[in-house]
Each structure stands twice: as C-alpha cells, then as structure tokens.
Amino acid sequence: MEGVYVPLITPFSEDGAPALGVLEKLAVECLHAGATGLVALGTTGEPASLSDAEREAVLDVVAGVCRDTGAPLLVGANTPGRLAAVPTGAAAALTLVPPFLRPGEDGVVAYFEALAAVSPVPLVVYHVPYRTGQPLTAATLRRLAAIEQVIGVKYATGAVDAEAVALLADPPPGFAVLCGDDTMLSPMLALGASGGILASAHLQTAAFVQLVAAWRAGDVARARPLGRRLARLSAAVFAEPNPTVVKAALHAAGRIPTPDVRLPLLPASTAAVDEVAPYLYGSLLE
C-alpha cells in the first residue's frame, strides 16, 4: 500500500440525510485527481452519527466507485460485527487501537490477533494515542506487523517521534506505514513512509499526490517547498475538529450542498473557513 488515500466525508443534504450522489461525485473527483484509494466510514465520515442503514448506504456508494475504477478501498471497522460487514473485495479494514480502556501493549497485540482471525479482509492498524490513550512502541508495531492479516498502520501520534524513526529505519517487509497526521506528511515521507490517509486531500488532491511522488523519487528540491505549502493547508483544515473545516471548505467551493456536521460536532467558525479559503481554487503545484 502506498500513495494518498482520502478518508471521505459524509456530505449531508438540506434535509439532513446523506447526499449519496454528491458522495459518489466527490469520490470520483478524488480518484481522478490521482488519489490511490479511498476510505469509507473512517472517523472523517462521522460514522458514529450515522444509522446502520446510512452506514450501509455510504459503504455501498464508495465500494461501487472503487469497484468501477479499480481503486483500493479501506473501510473503518473496529469490531468483529463491523468487520463482518466489510466487502470481501476491500483492500483492508482500518481498525482503531482499542480506545479508552488502555489495555497495555500485550492486550493490543492479542486484540489484533483475535480480529485478524475472523476478519474477511486484511487489517490496517489505526494508531492515534492522543485519542485512544494507548501508546505503542516501535517494537510492538513490529509484533503487530508479524500478524499475517495485518498489513499496515495509520500512524497518527501527533509528532514525528522516536518510535516513528525507529520503525521507519527498518520497516517490516510488506508492512505499510501511512501517515495519519496531515501536517506531518512531508517529514514522514522523508523518513520512508509509503503514503498517507489524509482528510486534507479532499482539497488540492493532486498536490498531495505529487508530494508523495516527489519524496519517493528522491526529488528533495521539489518535495520540501511543496510539503511546506501543504502543511499550511493541513494546519488550516485541522484548526477545528475534523471534518468541520473540510466540510465548510467543500461547501464554499460548491462541491457539497451543505457544510453540516452532526452532534457532538458543531459547524466550523467563519474564521476557520477564511483561513482555508485561499486553498480552494487554483493549484499549489508550481
């Protein structure tokens, strides 16, 4: 797994229902701009606020786009029940490290061993300790990589930390390290990450794709300035809780019918939308 994966929002219509036709168009636009694949029902898609029927409809739309285009699909699924609903044609399930319980690193490994035994598709570990409360060392990530069905990690620790450096200094064979902190994408790619799962890539998708390509080609002179420009975009997108700002930006650009989010999220502020406005049109590529 490498490249840019876009964790799709769930756009809402004026009546509050998921705008499935808009979602399909957005998915196609991201892929046509060069994204490698899509994530359905990731946290950016507000899955906890969707009904079972809405989640199924969203997944059907995104899976259909991926099937028609041949693009890899990742599906957010954190329990055996949710994993059972993942289409067998999906590339992987994006599965969160158990949140809140803080089971310890041995508990995390045992948890993923159990999920891998029943999952119909491979697993990508979603490691986001500032949300889950459970840190993982590079050694534990290597233990997870040794599980046959675990094929990668969305690495989102909020920093390019010592564990990331240790992991990428000698990455496990066949194990993808995907950056999950959008502002950290360029330095993670410089260390050897294979790509990213990036909510910011709803905007300026082609520029994110080119950043990955530049680092993988060793074109440092191109990658560094592009990485700085995209980091500023990502900082603006994440100035308020995700996906509030990206939805407001897509609405301002006329790509989705409303900027609406569901509780407990609140709409993005005018100031946040003003910060992201310069990135809505034109290109960050030079």
CA distance 186 to 23: 28
* The two three-digit tokens of residue 152, written as one number: 């990668």
Active-site residue, from 126, 155, 247, 279? 126
Q: Per-residue DSSP letters for 23-69?
A: HHHHHHHHHHTT--EEEESSGGG-GGGS-HHHHHHHHHHHHHHHHHH
- Contacts of residue 207, defined as CB under 8 A and 6 or more positions apart, other chains included, come to 226, 229, 230, 283, 284, 285
Residue 227 near residue 211, CB atoms below 8 Å: yes
The contacts of residue 286 (CB under 8 Å, 6+ apart) are: 225, 226
Give the active site residue among 5, 130, 154, 281: 154
Is 155 annotated as catalytic?
no
| C-beta atoms surrounding 56 within 10 Å | 13
Indicate if 154 belongs to the active site.
Answer: yes
Residue pair 268/240 in contact by the 8 Å Cβ criterion: yes
Annotated catalytic residues are 126, 154
